[in-house]
C-alpha cells in the first residue's frame, strides 16, 4: 500500500461527458502528479501540483484540468470525453517539489476510465 488513494477505481462513461478523478496523497506529501497510461503506452506526465500551486505541465489536453485543494487532495477533470481518452489515470505524490531530485514518486492504484 503506497498510501496514495485514488477514486473511483473504475469508471465507464459516454463520449461527450465529463468526469472527475480524485486523489489523496500520502500523509505529509505536498506534491501531486497525474499520469495517463493508454494502451501500449508508457506513463504520460500530465500535470504536477505542489502545495496547491501548479508546478509543472506535461502533455495535458485543454479539455483536461486539475487542481489541488488546501487539504492537498487533488482532482483531475476530464471533459468532452473522446474514445481516445480511455486509459488508466495514475496519481502520484512525493514529499517535496521535484527539484530535490529525490526521484521517488508514490503511485496510487489508478483509475481506469472507459469511454464508450
Residues contacting residue 106 through CB under 8 Å, at least 6 positions apart: 2, 3, 4, 25, 26, 29, 92, 93, 94
Q: Which of 88, 86, 105 is nearest to 96 (CA)?
A: 105
Minimum Å distance from CB 76 to other proteins?
Answer: 14
Residues of this chain that interact with other proteins (CB under 8 A) are 2, 4, 33, 35, 40-45, 48, 55-56, 58, 90, 92, 98-101, 103-110
If one counts every other C-beta atom within 10 angstroms of the C-beta of residue 17, the result is 13
State the nearest-atom distance from the C-beta of 15 to other proteins, in Å: 26
Q: Residue 27 has what DSSP assignment?
A: T
Cβ nearer to other proteins, comparing 4 with 72: 4
- What are phi and psi for residue 13, nearest 5 degrees? -145, 180
Least distance to other proteins, CB of residue 46, Å: 8
- Closest distance to other proteins from the beta carbon of 16 (Å): 29
Cβ proximity to other proteins: between 75 and 109 the closer is: 109
Query: Are the C-beta atoms of residues 66 and 6 closer than 8 Å to each other?
Result: no
Specify the residue, 35 or 64, whose C-beta has the smaller distance to other proteins: 35
Which CB sits closer to other proteins, 80 or 87?
87
Amino acid at each position: 500500500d503506497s498510501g496514495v488513494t485514488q477514486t473511483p477505481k473504475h469508471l465507464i462513461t459516454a463520449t461527450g461527458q465529463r468526469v472527475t478523478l480524485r486523489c489523496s496523497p500520502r500523509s505529509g506529501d505536498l506534491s501531486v502528479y497525474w499520469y495517463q497510461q493508454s494502451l501500449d503506452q508508457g506513463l504520460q506526465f500530465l500535470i504536477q501540483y505542489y502545495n496547491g500551486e501548479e508546478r509543472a505541465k506535461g502533455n495535458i489536453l485543454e479539455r483536461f484540468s486539475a487542481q489541488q485543494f488546501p487539504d492537498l487532495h487533488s482532482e483531475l477533470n476530464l471533459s468532452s470525453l473522446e474514445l481516445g481518452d480511455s486509459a488508466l489515470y495514475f496519481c502520484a505524490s512525493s514529499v517535496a517539489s521535484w527539484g530535490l531530485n529525490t526521484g521517488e514518486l508514490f503511485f496510487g492504484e489508478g483509475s481506469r476510465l472507459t469511454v464508450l
